[in-house]
Amino acid sequence: MNRYLQDGFAPVADELTAFDLPVTGALPEHLDGRYLRIGPNPAADPGEDYHWFLGEGMVHGVRIEDGAARWYRNRWVRPESGDFAPNTNVVQHRGRTMALVEAGAPPYELSEELETVGRCGFAGDLAAGYTAHPHEDPATGELHAVSYSWTRGNRVDYSVLDTSGRIRRQVEVEVHGSPMMHDFALTEHYAVIFDLPVTFDIDMVAGQVPRPVRLAAKLALNSVVGRNPMPDRVVDAMARGAGTPSKLPYSWDPDYPARVGLLPREGAGTDVRWFEIDPCYVFHTLNAFEDGDDVVIDVVRHPRMFATDFTGPHEGPSSLVRLTVDTVAGKVREHRYDEQTQEFPRLDERRTGRRHRYGWSVGFDGVTLGDSVLLHDVQAGTTHTRRLGPGKEVGEFCFVPDADDAAEGAGVVMGYVHDRSTARSDLVLLDAQTLEDVATVHLPGRVPAGFHGNWAPAGG
């Protein structure tokens, strides 16, 4: 059976609402907001070749106020007809809660209670969809994004969403072909773009089209990938002829050059500078910052991706590494911090684009979520590991400061943890510096293994 349809990955069938949740320990009194996380949750059996990234999105949230867990809700994202249900990230920006997915699909707005409101108002201004990983500049409050779609050919789009919720800036950048560009990084003066060897696979898409029209579909796709984009309505109609795809149409291309680009935040697309790196794949960045003429980028590095396993990420151990771009010499140095297989790196986001000291990530046991939370001190070069115990499966943890002006890393990290022995999940809060228990909110059901979550402060 497909591993992403069983055990902790298995979808849940019901939307639940529960109030006044039981808590072990003490929730910090200053916390006032919602912890939100999203992930794929297929509403129907998708079949054995199902790819984990393609299930319909479901959001899970806990409301915390005055030291109490007021409610838990889980809700499917309900898109308009023809749209993909966002399943990858859920963020709050200037009071608006947005469910996000990449590769051309539009973002959706959610209500305070996680009901679907509709497409975000700025979606119609985008060249083609939005990223799953925008980054907010803590100095300006603007939301920066690098978005990709195979309908855009060999172009990706850098955009800036201002604090009024409008697209202030949108820049087209030419890349080598049609790569999967899950994340990027932001510094004070650059958007850091990853052009890496996981690329759109024409044969995968053409193979899902009814046999009589496969040749025509492949010829049409060939006219798009790596060249000028076709009108979205034409490509969209052709791509949807086979219905919802069961395979993610991206795979490892060993002949594709791996490189990192530095795009000046106020520059033109032609101003990007490219620097070659060893072949790899990066889903997630921890952070990036400028150090004189160097640009320093901390990422989780995978040796390759979607080369042999086409149901989800499973191509060897990943590690936390530092890429240092020497802009004078035109070279990139690589330093590996930690050998533990890990993913979902997070930082104190008040340090986004600036020099940071701390980062948190989640340990994996092969393809399966493990029971450990990792604290990295990149200044001291140390890693502290907290294991939550046998049978526990840890999802992404995010950092929440004790106060807006608290020192870096002073606060808690929080995330959902599944307990296989009870088939239920908890929202677990740990002290960010010691990884000791702070509080556990006990949920009425199970939160399937999913993707990204964030703290959404009340009124934020």
- The answer on pLDDT for 211 being more than 70 is no
Q: If you count DSSP H runs as helices and E runs as strands, how many of each does the chain have, helices first?
A: 3, 33
- Percent of the chain residues past pLDDT 90, beyond the cut: 81
Question: Whole-prediction pTM value?
Answer: 0.92
Give pLDDT, residue 208: 53
Domain that holds residue 326: 3-201+249-457
Note the pLDDT of residue 207.
54
The DSSP symbol for 54 reads G
Whether residue 57 contacts residue 99, with contact meaning beta carbons closer than 8 Å, is answered with yes
Q: For the CA atoms of 176, 133, 276, 335, what is the dihedral angle to 10 degrees? A: -160
Q: Is residue 216 part of a domain?
A: no
Examine residue 222 and state whether it is found in any structural domain, yes or no. Answer: no
Q: pLDDT at residue 225 above 60?
A: no
Q: Give me the sheet containing 57-65, strands edge to edge.
A: 17-19, 68-76, 57-65, 33-40, 453-457
Q: Give, in order, the Cα–Cα distances in Å from 243 to each of 76, 238, 239.
A: 20, 10, 8
Q: How many domains does the chain have?
A: 1
List for the chain the helix, strand, coil content (%; round to 5).
10, 45, 45
CATH at 380: 2.130.10.10
Q: Say how many CA atoms lie within 13 Å of 87 toward its Cβ.
A: 22
Residue 240 in any domain: the answer is no
Q: What is the pLDDT of residues 47-61, one digit of tens each?
A: 888 999 999 999 999
Is residue 107 in some structural domain?
Answer: yes
Contact present, 245 and 150 (Cβ < 8 Å): no
pLDDT at 220 over 80: no
Average pLDDT over residues 111-140: 96
Q: Specify whether the CB–CB gap between 315 and 308 falls below 8 A.
A: yes
| Residue 285: inside a domain | yes
Q: Name the nearest CA neighbour of 375 among 364, 362, 394, 389.
A: 362
- Give 338's pLDDT tier (boundaries 50, 70, 90): confident
Whether residue 386 lies inside any domain: the answer is yes
User: What pLDDT was estimated at residue 245?
Assistant: 52
- Structural domain includes residue 229: no
Q: What is the mean pLDDT of the chain?
A: 91
Please give the pLDDT value at position 342. Answer: 95
Distances (CA, A) of 403 to 140, 201, 309: 19, 46, 43
Average pLDDT, stretch 306-321? 92
pLDDT digits (tens, 9 = 90+) for 402-457: 999 999 999 999 999 999 999 999 999 999 999 999 999 999 999 999 999 999 99
Task: Report the pLDDT averaged over residues 123-144.
Answer: 95
- In eight-state DSSP terms, residue 159 is E
- Does a structural domain hold residue 124? yes
Q: What is the mean pLDDT of residues 255-274?
A: 97
Q: Residue 153: its pLDDT value, please?
A: 86
What pLDDT is stored for residue 106 in this prediction?
94
What are the structure tokens assigned to 121, written together?
């108002």
pLDDT at 241 over 60: no
Residue with tokens 């985008």: 126
